[in-house]
Amino acid sequence: MSFEILTYSFMHRALIAGIAIAILCSVVGLFLVLRRYSLFGDAIAHSSFGGVAVGLLAGIYPLWTAYVVSIVSALVITRVKDRFNISGDASIAVLLSSGIAVGLVIIGLSGGFTLDIFSFLFGSILLVSVDDVILILALTGGILIVVLLLFRELLYSTFNEEQAKVSGIPVEKINYLIVFMAGLTVVTSIQLVGVLLISALFVIPNVSAIMYGKGFKQTAIISISFSIFSVVAGILISYIFDITPAGTIVLLSIGLLAGTMGIKSTGLLSKN
């Protein structure tokens, strides 16, 4: 086997975009997992299906409408959830199914799908353009800066809302910020693993990392490392063996989770 594949420029683009998305999903996903919002990424991804359909019908680049529709619907559902006291899992179910429903109806109205639905459902990381890479890097940089600047607020309100409020942290605003960042992250990441597997990137590396019993920053670093490894190895392996990258990435990260569980069951992780 040669290293020739590392010389292809499409492979460079895929790896750069993949690593950025891996970092982004780990960081944003850690807050979602700890808030028991693991499936929220999935719900946003499904609502982006409606967004893509809107773009196709209106003749606008579908990714832009996917951003708008996903973020707006995620913020609206969060507001509705708080206002009417709906539980988190039920609100996720509402968001998830309404996105698909909107998409299906619009596709029906526009007389069928012209977009490659397969790449939307399962990602198409090897097809990312230079413009896509620039957008992905800019969003990753922007979101990471916001997370670093508001780190205490984000962590504290995730740990205990009531105490965060007593410390003067604007908890509601922080909640909306997390939803907003999750919306941006999900739509950006669809190109990597597609709508159906997006929550794997949000959830699996974080579930593994939490098991190591470390503090917050170390947990985030473990999660990011696992995520980058899965994405890079997944892209390379899938290209070499001509299999789907999305599935390979997710299976590798499940492998790391299984390995972590194996180490944990031997008792090696129970103490610091």
Partner 1 sequence: MLKAVEIKNLSVKYPDVKALDDVSFEVNEGDFLGIIGPNGAGKSTLFASMLNLHTDYEGTIKFFGQDIRKSKNYLKQIGYVPQKPIFEKNFPVTVKDVVRMGLQNESDADRIDEILQQLWIHELGNRRIGELSGGQQQRVFIAKALVHKPKLLILDEPVTGIDQQSIELFYSILRELNSKQNITIIWSSHDLDAVNQLANHVACLNRTLFFHGESEDFFSNDELVKQYSEASMQEHMHHH
Task: Please answer whether residues 189 and 205 qualify as being in contact, where contact means their C-beta atoms are separated by less than 8 angstroms.
Answer: no
Residue with tokens 């990597």: 192
| Residue-wise burial string across 124-157, b where 16 or more C-beta atoms lie within 10 A, e elsewhere | bbbebeeebbebbeebbeebeeebeebeebbbbb
Nearest Cα neighbor of 182 from 239, 143, 148, 141 is 143
Site string for partner 1, 25-44 (x = CB under 8 A): ---------x----------
Closest CB 145 distance from partner 1, rounded Å: 16
Range in contact with partner 1 (rule: CB under 8 A) among 15-23, 39-47, 71-79, 211-219: 211-219
Q: One-letter amino acid identity for 179?
A: V
Q: Return the residue of 16, 214, 244, 254 that touches partner 1, per CB under 8 A.
A: 214
Q: Which is nearer to partner 1, 79 or 152 (CB)?
A: 152
Using rule CB under 8 A, residue 2 touches partner 1: no
Using rule CB under 8 A, residue 68 touches partner 1: no
Using rule CB under 8 A, residue 149 touches partner 1: no
Nearest Cα neighbor of 191 from 231, 141, 228, 143 is 231
Using rule CB under 8 A, residue 264 touches partner 1: no
Range in contact with partner 1 (rule: CB under 8 A) among 117-125, 189-197, 205-213, 246-254: 205-213
Q: Return the residue of 97, 129, 167, 265 that touches partner 1, per CB under 8 A.
A: 167
Task: Please answer whether residues 23 and 74 qualify as being in contact, where contact means their C-beta atoms are separated by less than 8 angstroms.
Answer: no
Task: Please answer whether residues 9 and 126 qualify as being in contact, where contact means their C-beta atoms are separated by less than 8 angstroms.
Answer: no
Closest CB 113 distance from partner 1, rounded Å: 42
Chain contacts with partner 1 (rule: CB under 8 A)? 34, 152, 155-156, 159-160, 162-168, 209-211, 213-216, 219, 272
